[in-house]
Structure 1
């Protein structure tokens, strides 16, 4: 087995980067849900999240997301937003975008090397919706719905990881 074979996602601990627009709602939520549920499932996976935009760099998660996540048992209080970097595509096995706009923004940054970039929900086996709705401009109900969707999608993520 060559050294390059040792670095494939199939043989090394898995690492996944979740990406949304500002890194204050969807991607930090999915990161927290995935981290907690994968640990409970005994999976050795490294997670992180970031945004394609720079508006919220260094800021915490949206207060509405903090509240909705906390009500479901997920702690986002330590999260600080960051923007995606070119090196992320070499540091992670998969880069998973929350929607098509962010996917489109990621592809030119990736170039011809690095982790595959895909939409998160289809990657996790969710057929509808294809894109993870952004609750930012909605009401509190949208944040609760985001938590439920994140949990459902992470169940699919765990099933995919366990079947490798």
Structure 2
């Protein structure tokens, strides 16, 4: 299964630091590439991709939601990304699949803890700091089951996406052992 996505904004981020009933999202999404990524390994519900350019290998772990609640609007494929930035260093970001309402907070919840995400760009959200990245990753590993993301589009519609954490720890381990990264 090959998945790529519009990648230019994500590179900038990582370098700078349904219905009322449940909607089943077992379908796989296809992202339109601006930069080609190569799927190198799948770990249950997570996939690791490489991007090689200018003698630099960048690695990303992707997950798509397995379930969405409370969203009836039109949206593109939502996804969560963990970007490898170096030994035990990651950056977490997500694309909710629609334009984000800046008047409402995006909340990621795992291991019974909630984290606010930065939504300064119209269709991406990411963590505020490497300290927050580390805390979220630690909570994701402790929880081991799932995380949720509550986001709002510009029409004030709510999306509550659920992401599986099955395979996430293995994806991180793979990136630690196989990815070299050189950020300027």
Shorter-chain-normalised TM-score: which range?
A: under 0.3
Structure showing the higher strand proportion among its residues: 2
TM normalised by structure 1 equals 0.26
What TM-score do you get using the length of structure 2 for normalisation? 0.24
